[in-house]
Structure 1
Amino acid sequence: MKSVQSTASLTVAKFGGTSVADFQAMLRCANIIKSNASNRLIVVSASAGVTNYLVRLSHKNVLVTEQKLIVDNIRAIQLNITQHLSIDVEVELNKEINSLLDELLQHALTQSLQYSTKTTDAILAFGEQLSSRIFAEVLQSIDVAGEYFNVKQVMKTNSLHGKAVVDIKQLSKQCEHLLVPKLKDKVIVTQGFIGQDSLGNTTTLGRGGSDYSAALLAEAVHGDNLSIWTDVVGIFTTDPRITEQARAIKEISFGEAAEMATFGAKILHPATLIPAMRCNIPVFVGSSKEPEMGGTQIKQKVASNPTYRSIALRREQTLVTVKSPAMLHASGFLAKVFSILAKHELSVDLITTSEISVALTFDNPSGSTQSLITNTVVAELEQLCDVSVEHGLSLVAVIGNGLTCTKGIGQSIFETINDVNIRLICHGASANNICFLVNESDANLVVEKLHNSLFS
């Protein structure tokens, strides 16, 4: 009989899409779990490539022939994994997968007839539902007592489809009742990214929300550690695809990691660290392909606090400038601007002001299907002031420590890139970052130059 060694320590482990991309990838992850008895709750993303298919499937006016082709492509990815399991398991699992995919196709057909964000969420959630079912069986195949668990039983949210907000109290209550008892003698496999509203509808936390789901679950089940397994050996000083000089960071503080995630480092979802920081749960980031290489430890206190820790880059930024003489020596103008933004549920990233104008930046998440700053938003703002909207920008963030009280910071950074046009600078609100906007075409060069200058 398959069993799991009881342990006082509890680790929540999250595996990303590339970590569960195929059978060999899943098998590596299963062995990581088996090698450490503290791994009790496993959160998985959709298998690599599946979410992209689902995003396309969720669009408006997708022809039925394309819908069926997309579903068949998803089916091929998943059945390519199950074929490596025992015959009996494969047959039963394939029946379940095919049933889920038939349901997915029905959602897609509904979406074609009447598009809705509710149906979009239902479609996007299928990737995690499929991969978690399969991964539980892969664990069973190596004698680990893996058990599938539907996270919608505990991950209760509001009805804001596409970026649902989790009810933390409900999550904690449901986990204590439904999930924690199972962790005593089982390795539970569940889904990231998805939840359920009070009406029973499927919701999503936004693309990339699997890390955040794992952190929320770690908090709710009183986890001792959170492990994020991805395809790189930890967090780097910058994106290694931009410069070969980028190097892995052994340890980093919660504050620094939060700044990196917020300003573009794709290893962690920006909200991931909030639950970990609330409960002081150490976070490990490592590669499921090379677990022996170690990774990055994120914790409250670290041994060193260098002036420069990393450089983050976030693309697809929108800059909105509002200008009106009515701002001069007047009160309430910004409140009116922000009330319009709040009405449309828009979140401002950076802000700079002058006497009669304000510049605001907005992030357009990768994979989003529509512009955040719509004509409706602009029209409402124009009732107050002149409005200009600029696209094609990237945000560069230099992350470190004591950046508001260290002399020569500006010279060290901006003299290095004095041949580049800088559209906006934001500094002073945080001791952990200096941020500025550059043209998208200059972004890689700026990061490479700064990294060579600050980290050589």
Structure 2
Amino acid sequence: MSVVVNQASANEITVAKFGGTSVADFQAMLRCAEIIKKDSRNRLVVVSASAGVTNHLVRLSQENVPEQEREDIIADIGRIQFAITHHLACHQVLDTEINKLLKALAHCAQQQAGQHCLQNSDEILSFGEQMSSRIFAQVLQSVGANGHYFDARQVMKTDDLYGKAQVDLAQLSANAQALLLPQLANKVIVTQGFIGSDEQGNTTTLGRGGSDYSAALLAEAIQASNLSIWTDVVGIFTTDPRITDQARSINEISFGEAAEMATFGAKILHPATLIPAMRQDIPVFVGSSKEPDAGGTRIQRQVDSNPTYRSIALRREQTLVTVKSPEMLHASGFLAKVFTVLAKHQLSVDLITTSEISVALTFDNPLGSTQALLTKAVVEELEQLCEVSVEHGLSLIAVIGNKIHGTKGVGSSIFDKVNDFNIRMICHGASEHNLCFLVPEEDANQVVERLHETLFSH
């Protein structure tokens, strides 16, 4: 077997991230391996868990999962992974490693069933990436791409806020330069997205979807020249293609636009992904691992086109909280008190609108979250200050583009087409890149489809 060895300096390195569907089975991993082998600049690979595994792990991380269900889930995870490894010629050592991980997972799941613990939950959720990265490194070896496994927890140091840990950027940079960068000269390193470790060495996670963010942080830490996000669609679309078949791929998009899209629901990117890339001015490419030659979307600081309307993003599972108090009228300090409560519970507000005696705030409830963000304790504490109402079953629609707040006719172009729907809240003017509003969940798809036809039919 010939081994591809390429000398690569830091300014020639591409960090490649593969999502769960890209590493779902052996054929998918093989396609990804060929992508890596084809371009010698691909030196650092970040992988998600194989498709389906994380959902199983989320269930195992919950309370009171019956023993038989735990055993069935772990057996299913094993089947997913061994269905990949059995295609490899020398898989015995790898299978032994996977079996050790499955045994450790079973132990963690048993502990979790007895007593729910956020620290243990993060440990459980980490096993998907631990397995997929070990397997993909061997798939790379099988095609002569010199793949080597690396534990991201050695460099990705975080605080102990389990479930949504914050990364120590200075420590990550120092660790990556010392432990990771020297290996990239003559190896392709495969590591995990989504996971890190705290000062005590306990496993932490960066939140669901954090693999993209991990890849961007690592690209920043080693000062890579490019970041490639490989997924199951050909780039970023004008809206979710599952909502309308009129959605089309976007060739290029600015950091600002892409950040708005990610923040307001575009599933293709984790909201935090672009922040490290923007800090270091690292271009990001989004493409399909199923169709690597079909093109994709380039995200960078400067782009050639800046249309008023670039895309429509949709984010479901939104919670609207309205806080109301007559004491707000001509009074100072009320908003500060409200946000002090939210900060205490480490809650981030997405949208906010105000009137003389009330404030409306939106919160995201990400799919797959293991815990509710807006807890009963938060509501009770707010009720000590004011009257509180909470509404669920809403979706946030964001029209993304350029200079939206300064373009005449934007409001009528958008709202004239959806005036027969109940618009629950509008947020406009704070950003030149978006106009956002809430609608009932059951109307969301129809609103997006109608707006897309209006704004992108030409």
Answer whether TM exceeds 0.5 for this pair: yes
Q: Which runs of 5+ in 1 are unaligned?
A: none
Which residue of the partner structure matches residue 68 of structure 1? 71
Amino acid at match of 2:309: Y
Which residue of the partner structure matches residue 393 of structure 1? 394
Q: Distance in 1 between matches of 2:193 and 2:48?
A: 6
Which residue of the partner structure matches residue 342 of structure 1? 343
Q: Distance in 1 between matches of 2:412 and 2:3?
A: 62
Q: Distance in 2 between matches of 1:152 and 1:424?
A: 42
Q: Distance in 2 between matches of 1:320 and 1:26?
A: 44
* CA offsets 1:129-160 (integer angstroms, 9 cap, x no match): 00000000000001111000000000000000
Amino acid at match of 1:345: Q
SS of aligned partner of 1:422? coil
Q: Distance in 2 between matches of 1:300 and 1:216?
A: 18
Which residue of the partner structure matches residue 40 of structure 1? 43
Which residue of the partner structure matches residue 20 of structure 2? 17
Write out the 4+ residue segments of structure 1 that deviate beyond 3 Å after TM superposition. none
Q: Distance in 2 between matches of 1:7 and 1:193?
A: 26
Q: Distance in 2 between matches of 1:368 and 1:128?
A: 18
Q: Distance in 1 between matches of 2:189 and 2:370?
A: 34
Alpha-carbon offset, residue 5 of structure 1:
1.8
* CA offsets 1:365-423 (integer angstroms, 9 cap, x no match): 11113332222111111111100000000000000001111100000000010100100
Alpha-carbon RMSD across the aligned residues, in angstroms, is: 0.7
* CA offsets 1:150-187 (integer angstroms, 9 cap, x no match): 00000000000000000000000000110000000000
Q: TM-score when scaled to structure 1?
A: 0.99
Q: Distance in 1 between matches of 2:47 and 2:375?
A: 34
Identical positions, percent? 71
Q: Which runs of 5+ in 2 are unaligned?
A: none
Which residue of the partner structure matches residue 250 of structure 2? 249
Q: Aligned match of 1:56 in 55, 59, 72? A: 59
Q: Distance in 1 between matches of 2:13 and 2:260?
A: 27
Would you say the 8 A contact 2:4–2:144 is kept in 1?
A: yes
Alpha-carbon offset, residue 113 of structure 1:
1.3
Q: Distance in 2 between matches of 1:198 and 1:271?
A: 23
Which residue of the partner structure matches residue 369 of structure 1? 370
Which residue of the partner structure matches residue 318 of structure 1? 319
Amino acid at match of 1:184: A
Which residue of the partner structure matches residue 447 of structure 1? 448
Q: Distance in 2 between matches of 1:433 and 1:399?
A: 5
Would you say the 8 A contact 2:234–2:296 is kept in 1?
A: yes
Q: Distance in 2 between matches of 1:229 and 1:385?
A: 47
Q: Distance in 2 between matches of 1:185 and 1:37?
A: 10
Q: Distance in 2 between matches of 1:175 and 1:423?
A: 46
SS of aligned partner of 1:237? coil
Matches within 5 A, 1:4-403: 4-8=5-9, 9-86=12-89, 89-403=90-404
Amino acid at match of 1:192: G
Would you say the 8 A contact 2:198–2:204 is kept in 1?
A: yes
Q: Distance in 1 between matches of 2:285 and 2:58?
A: 29
Q: Distance in 2 between matches of 1:365 and 1:248?
A: 25
* CA offsets 1:293-330 (integer angstroms, 9 cap, x no match): 01000000000100000000000000000000000111
Q: Distance in 2 between matches of 1:79 and 1:370?
A: 31
* CA offsets 1:280-301 (integer angstroms, 9 cap, x no match): 0000000000001010000000
Q: Distance in 1 between matches of 2:7 and 2:373?
A: 48
Q: Distance in 1 between matches of 2:100 and 2:136?
A: 17
Amino acid at match of 1:145: N
Would you say the 8 A contact 2:405–2:432 is kept in 1?
A: yes
Q: Distance in 1 between matches of 2:104 and 2:380?
A: 40
Q: Distance in 2 between matches of 1:206 and 1:164?
A: 7
Alpha-carbon offset, residue 112 of structure 1:
1.1
Q: Would you say how many aligned residue pairs link Structure 1 and Structure 2?
A: 454
SS of aligned partner of 2:321? strand
* CA offsets 1:14-72 (integer angstroms, 9 cap, x no match): 00000000000000000000000000000000000000000011110011111111110
Alpha-carbon offset, residue 220 of structure 1:
0.4
Amino acid at match of 2:56: Y
Would you say the 8 A contact 2:173–2:222 is kept in 1?
A: yes
Q: TM-score when scaled to structure 2?
A: 0.98
Would you say the 8 A contact 2:126–2:195 is kept in 1?
A: yes
SS of aligned partner of 2:380? helix
Amino acid at match of 1:34: K
Q: Distance in 2 between matches of 1:141 and 1:453?
A: 50
Amino acid at match of 2:290: K
Would you say the 8 A contact 2:8–2:184 is kept in 1?
A: no
Amino acid at match of 1:19: S
Q: Distance in 1 between matches of 2:5 and 2:277?
A: 26
SS of aligned partner of 1:292? coil
Q: Distance in 2 between matches of 1:4 and 1:95?
A: 28
